[in-house]
Structure 1
Amino acid sequence: MGPSDVKQIGIIGAGAIGQKHAEAAQAAGATLRWIADLNSERAAELSAQFGGTPCNDPSMVLNDQAVDAVVIGVPNRLHHPLAVAALEAGKDVLLEKPMALTAAQCEEINDVATRTGRIVQIGFVHRYTAVGRLAKQIVSAGRLGHIYHAKAHLHIRRGVPGLGKWFTTKSVAGGGALIDVGVHLIDLALSTLGYPDVADVSGQVYSTFGRRMRGYVYENMWAGPPDWDGVCDVEDAAHAFVRFRNGATLELDVAWAGNFPEKSIPTSLMGFFGDAGGMTFELFGDHVILTSEQEGSLVDERFEAAAAEPFKDQFADFLRSIETREVTGANGCQGEVVQRIVDEIYLNSLPQSAAVEV
């Protein structure tokens, strides 16, 4: 990318994820033109670090004709309206996960992108991790043969992000653990499998720990300390089973909190099982285990994953997408598929006593 090709980027949302994208944009060779956040102080702090003009009004970013593309990293309920507004303003969009609160909103974003001829890429950054990339390479090389089943789990011993704040408020977040971290697992599994057509989805969500509020004992609470007088009307765990039209299946198990033993099971595990081999890895790990038959015996092989910079590599893909007008990362149609699976899990989940109503 030459000097004349450097893209002018606006970032909407200057929180923790906005900082990740600002670092990535700079590292990938883009120029930050604007940083917008309703919290003017936070926008100014990020601008002082990475450049760009701070503001507290996203319309200033969208109305600037010099801006080529925007990154949207704000609370979930704002994904849909800001994405639509950005596309209508002629901007390409890197939209943080989840794509929107519902599949219907995702569909509208995709319709607007098609009509305006703009690019939408979804921030499913786990595709770009060291193990995520290696897993895709192994599957693409045919080492597993026909894959008939996949497993994806993420267990946080006692978490729940920012209890009582927007993460745990359904009207803002759209849901809890499933729509927050579960979407990463779903996309990584489907991406590795080649996004097969979904046949049906069943599942159950649970709200067991966060709803206790002041009685909740936790070990980790990213996204800030709890607001004990706030709202928690979302699930803290979800379990689901997805069947694909090609006969393969996906088992999903995700939890913000649970009574999990500290060290006896991995916090996260991805598994893909085929007729020629099986592959497992930890979501935040540095290697993949491949199990296959060799000379009449089952053999486990360990493959080290090459170092990766996920956010930088994701942004580099976004810049390529802007140039080629074809999304090379997670596209809007895939974001919609993920959200349809999420919607089905919420829809099919049975009500429980003391559980979130879906």
Structure 2
Amino acid sequence: MATTFDNTTPTSYNRMKEVKEFDESKMGVKGLSDSGITSIPRFFVQPPELLSDLKRPSSKSSRYGIPVIDLSSMDSSPLRRQKIMEQVKEAASTFGFFQVINHGVAISVMDETIAAIKAFHEQPHDVKSRYYKRDEMKGVMFASNIDLYRSKAAAWHDSLSAWMAPEPPCTEEIPEVCRKEVVAWETHVTAVAEKVMELLSEGLGLEKDKFKELSFLGNRVFAGNYYPYCPQPDLTVGIVPHTDPGMVTVLLQNGVEGLQMKHGEEWVDVKPLHGGLIINMGDFLQIVSNGEYKSIQHRVLANSSKEPRISIVMFFNLAIWKGSGYYGPLPELLSPEKPAIYRDFTVQEFSDNFYNKGLDSKSLIDKIKI
């Protein structure tokens, strides 16, 4: 049964009713896009203050908008590793974003993973909707906007997500059309993240395995995002400006542009680089590094292209909390000259800050800053 959405006068508009109807239709934004609508439902229209700076800027930092770091021959010599570590540290401390190439994952594997997620999202509604649900804390979930009921306005994307560790789903829970690729991707992308986290640890003067020992990669969430054509891309976004809450995020994207990160006061395009993987720092890493590494705002513009934008994301976060139940800046990084700039916080504070509201920017960091 077709679902229609009211775009008439404000007096007749019931936002929560329309959000609920959209959610229960399980059609996602792809379903809306495929229906041939020429105007988006009102609950997707973003507030004026967000829309006012959606101009696409010119990338001044580099050809791809962020530093590109070549990981080839990383361990061929101590000098080579030192050079790469310094590049990673500089990028994480200034941009909070960088792109890695020659990272050990074959381009064919990356292309197959993108194709598999695209195939999932382009299945018939009756097949895909079987996976549609809202259970953000475990298993496998297909939905549009994880924060649909918490956000001020919805964003123009759908997502297939899976909690891969520390408690992975039954393999059969992952849709068959992309099952093999999702399982394989976790292995490939975790190997890349381990390399990067070693370099980030060394950049702080710690042992290379310190972050791994602290289980900083032990919690892993996969997301396969789909951004279909939007008929009014000037009225909404693909994802609102936000920072990631965890340690690091590793992103693979297809050739359709849209990702932007904030550098100073300017939004910079993070242009697709075939064969590249984008790494960005999360709030948790900014805190434990005592502000050395920066978690930076980023967003995705609504897709004005007829070709869908696909992004494959793996979020890495802490799996095992300290015995005291608190986390904060690592003691090894503190001294009288460099005191803690953040207080310790609990797992409950961390969880509540993310799951009790819509996506936003550095709200936990702001709350615990000393």
Q: TM-score, normalised by structure 1?
A: 0.24
More strand by share: 1
Structure with greater proportional helix content: 1
In the superposition, the TM-score normalised over structure 2's length comes to 0.23
